[in-house]
Each structure stands twice: as structure tokens, then as C-alpha cells.
Amino acid sequence: MLRQSLQQKLLQKLSPQQIQLMKLLQLPTMELEVRIKEELEANPALEEGQEKDEWDEELTEVAGEEGNDAMEEFDFDEYLDDETPDYRLSAQNYGADIEDKTVPFSGGATFFERLRDQLGLLDVAPEVRELSEHIIGNLDEAGYLRRDLESIVNDLAFTEGIEVERIALEDALEVIQRLDPAGIGARDLNECLLLQLRRKFDNDAGSKLARRISQRLGIEILEHHFESFSKKHFERIQKKLDIDEEALRDALAEITQLNPKPANSGSESSRGSAVQIVPDFLLSIEDNELRLQLNQRNAPELRISPMYKEMMETYASGAKSNAQQKDALAFVKQKVDSAKWFVDAVVQRQRTLTITMQAIVDRQHAYFMSGDETDLRPMILKDIADEVKMDISTVSRVANSKYVQTPYGTFLLKSFFSESLTTETGEEVSSREVKKILEEAIDAEDKRTPLSDEKLSKLLNDKGYNIARRTVAKYREQLGISVARLRKELG
């Protein structure tokens, strides 16, 4: 049975302008510049330059009833049917002796292209070359071949109809492993290190005998005692190989100099070049006072095209027009509105960034004056959101993607946020302060007998920080520090 009924619902929906602001707010400086360039290309009503006079708010209301009447009397023929040739609107004022100072963009060869170039210089059979190129395409960003050769055999059979024996792929892989840098094409870390150390041993034939003995011993450790090496069971290795501690130390020194990610040893990684960080804020100390500036690349000069303003003003004054001209005028209004919304969103973005960063600076004043991480106060997103009277999600968008340049380095804003811990005296301290003390304790430990999480917990408790062993383990992992057993080193 069908029924009709009227219902009232209260829904909260973001306007297009709010959505645009949220998207702009989370963009870092370089991505903002790209976004502005895209908008300038897409919207002819938006221009770069300083606004000379106040935008008349009445022009934004021309969609009302008066605007519909006024649209009927605007003559747009001159604008739409301009037959002036392009060559009359431009000038070539540059002579042959004017120097072109544009800098060409250089995009260098990728890691895979360099491998293929090396492969082209080797004297190998065409079928081996083809299989080698297929293997290159299966390498990961570190230069490893993580896929099993049987899987590649099946791929070639099903996707390209090529029947190939596993031994042929092994021959092709051997060719890849002869390329530079050494270690390319390894199937695991052990093989990667072995490939590098064997090549060093072959290339260093003229080296001192002591070094060649250390390299030969390193190869022996990797080939037959890799598990003991990875778990740092040094006494077991000494016993198995019947060597003293000095000989083991020299062999381990040869191994630790190797690169576990050979594909990253070049000027660029296999997938692309390093990301350049441009700070969104500049913080300096002048006359013992903190001075905060927004990077001017975040504050571009944008304005609405004067020509489009004039069109809108003429439209508001009113004149007769046909349906085609009405469509053209509607197009102009849509572009002007879009440009105005974009300019307003950029200005609001600048205001939000400045207010949020100033609140962070005020709360962490002691740290920014000293640069000592132990001066960092506990601070969570809600603290700043309450301070600036904004939503937590807005503060999060700022903190997660913006950088500040300080006298002590350039940092991501979210690195200044941390949980609070209570000391024995009842004082609240930042978890960053605890992590700093933890890091210093591990740096100063005896590497022959590294401190366990239990001992680290006791050390912090003795300093007045109430912290459990499991919390120590969590902070240690967040700092990227291994467990005690894996931090063990020979003296």
C-alpha cells in the first residue's frame, strides 16, 4: 500500500564554498601554487594582481529578479563577435640579440631506464635480453625481485603466450645481477648483501691481505651464519668459525658498509626524485622576541578580472538581449562568482593558517625560544581548536600537511603535538620530553649490553616519570629504535 506524507528533516550540509576552503586548507605551499595555476587557466574571470578597489557586493545579487529584467537589454555583440585578428592584439618586441633566460626542465633517467641502458651494452642472446627486460619490470623500488621465478614463468605463459623454462629465467636473472649498482635483482636481504660483498672481494684484488681476509670472512658469515648475524648472536658465530672478537669485528664492519636498498644508491630513487619541502611558515627570533610570518607563496595576489566586472556592471544596468546573449551573460556571472569564491577561500585559508600557527607558537613559546625538546608542553588538537574556536578537523588539516621553518630546523606542525604524562610531583610533561630522554639513554648505553625495556622503564621512573614497560616499548617503536637484542654491538 502506497502512502504519501510530508516530513521535516534537519540536515547539515557543507556549501560549495566551504568544501572549496577545506580542500585548499589541507594543501601545502607547492600544491597550492599548482591549484591556483589550474584555477587561473580554467577561469578567465580570475587574474593575478592586486585588487584596486572594493568588489561591489551588489553585483553578486544580479541573479535576483532585477537581474533577470536587466539581462534583456545588454548588447553583447561586440564581445561575442569580435573579428579583430590575433596579430593586431600582440607585439613581437624581442630582437635576435635578446638572451633567453628560461631554464630548461631536466627530468633525468629513471632507475629502470638506467638498468635497460646497461643491459643494452651487454653481449647477450636476444631471448636472454628479452627475459632480462621482463625481470627488470618486476623489480621493486628497492631493487629486489620479490616475485618467485615460477610466478613469472606462469605470467609469461598466460599473458604473452611465451613458454619458458625456469632455468632460462635464472640465466636472465644472473645477467641482471651483474648490473650496477651491485645487489640489484636479489631475492632477499641475504642474497643482496652477498652479491655486493662478492663483487667487492673480486674488485679489491689488490687490497691489503687483512681486508681481503675480512671480506672473505664476511662472505662466510652471510652464506652459512646469516640467521645468527641477523639476531646478533656474535658469540655463536665466533665459536662456529673459531675466530677472535677482533676478526669478527672487522668482518662485520665490511658487511655493515653494504647497502640493503641498492636501488636507492643513485641520485634518484626508482620511482622518482625526492620531495622538496617548502615551509608554510617562517619563525625567527628578533630582539629576543618570536616573529611569525606566513610564507608569501601562500598569499598570492588574486583579483577578479576588471573586464568581467565591467560586463557584470553593464548587465546590472540592463539592456535588451536575445536568448543566446542571456546564456553568455549567465556564463559570465558563473565565472565571476566562481572567481570570487576562490579568492575568498584563499584569503580565508591565509587567515586560518596564521591564527592556528600563532596559537601553536604561543603555547610552545618556551620550546621555540630554546629549541630544547624537553621544553615542549603537552598539546593535543583539541587544545588549539578551543583556543582558535575552530573545529578539530580544521586544525588537523593544518597540522598534518604544513611545515614551519625555525632557527632549529624545519618541522611538520603535527610533530609539536603530544600526549601528557604526570610526574611524581604531579607536573604534566609532554610525551616528546619523555621520548627525548629515552632516546638519550639509549644513545649512551653500553652497546655490548643494551638496556632492555624493563631497565629503561626503571631508569625513567628513577627520574620521576611514571611510565610502564609497555609504554616504553611503544615510544621506542615510534622512535624507530630496535629491541635491546638487535642493538647489541661488539665493543
What is the per-residue pLDDT across 3-23, written as a single tens digit (0 to 9) for each? 777 777 665 555 666 777 788
Distance in angstroms (rounded) separating the CA atoms of residues 31 and 42 = 17
Q: What is the pLDDT of residue 316?
A: 54
Is residue 193 within 8 A of residue 183, CB to CB? The reply is yes
Q: Which residues of the chain have pLDDT under 50?
A: 54-82, 84, 86-106, 267-274, 320
Distance in angstroms (rounded) separating the CA atoms of residues 275 and 401 = 13
Concatenate the DSSP letters of all residues of 437-476 into one string: HHHHHHHHS-TTSPPPHHHHHHHHHHTTB---HHHHHHHH
Radius of gyration of the chain (CA): 33
Distances (CA, A) of 84 to 76, 80, 280, 305, 473: 16, 11, 45, 21, 75
Return the number of other C-beta atoms located less than 10 Å from residue 304's C-beta: 23
What is 420-487's CATH topology?
Answer: Arc Repressor Mutant, subunit A (1.10.10)
Q: What is the pLDDT of residue 107?
A: 52
Virtual torsion, Cα 346, 349, 354, 355, nearest 10 deg: 140
- In tens, the pLDDT along 278-292 reads 899 999 999 999 999
pTM across the whole model = 0.53
Q: What is the pLDDT of residue 426?
A: 66
Q: What is the pLDDT of residue 155?
A: 86
